[in-house]
Amino acid sequence: MRYNIGNGLLKGTMIIILTLVFSGCAFLSPVALKKEANTVEISKNKPAKSCQYVAPIEATDSWLFVDMFTANDNLVQSAYSLIRNRAKSLNANYVQVLHYEYLQSSLFGVFEFTRMPAISAIAYHCPVK
């Protein structure tokens, strides 16, 4: 019985490719906002004087070339969810956004795909009113 190595390799490669394609759909959803991070307030304004500085935080939602297949609205929602989740993990409840921009995603600087949101901010802990 002859076994064609090339044919088996082709089948294995196809299985891997299909698995990656279908599992990739899970990456296309926006980053989930953790329940406890829902209370984190985000603003461009400086916090009240009673708030304490915690740390600088940043968020960019992009994973390899997944941003090519994701709607910009989902990328923006993900970036803000990441900021809130990170702030809450630092026990912060207020985030002052310092800078918001879209970064261009490309392959080797040649093939431009999509723009991904990038947020730079400062996390604060403010007394609860």
Stretch 107-120: mean pLDDT: 68
- Between 121 and 27, the more confident residue is 121
Q: What is the pLDDT of residue 91?
A: 96
pLDDT digit string, tens, across residues 40-91: 999 999 999 999 999 999 887 655 555 555 555 566 778 888 999 999 999 9
CA quadruple 26, 31, 34, 35: dihedral positive or negative? negative
**Mean pLDDT, to the nearest integer, of 88-106?**
83
Task: Compare 10 and 120 and report the one with higher pLDDT.
Answer: 120
Which has more confidence, 29 or 53? 53
Helix (H, G, I), strand (E, B) or coil at 86: helix
Of the candidates 90, 86, 80, which has an alpha carbon nearest to the alpha carbon of residue 44? Answer: 80
| pLDDT for position 104 | 62
Radius of gyration, alpha carbons of the chain: 21
Triad 103, 31, 35: Cα angle to 5°: 135
pLDDT at 109 over 80: no
Contacts 24+ apart (CB under 8 A), 95-100: 95/40, 95/41, 95/42, 95/43, 95/57, 95/121, 95/122, 95/123, 95/124, 96/43, 96/44, 96/45, 96/46, 96/47, 96/121, 96/122, 96/124, 97/42, 97/43, 97/44, 97/121, 98/122
What DSSP line would sit under 108-120, residue for residue? TTTEEEEEEEEEE
Contact 44, 96 (CB under 8 A): yes
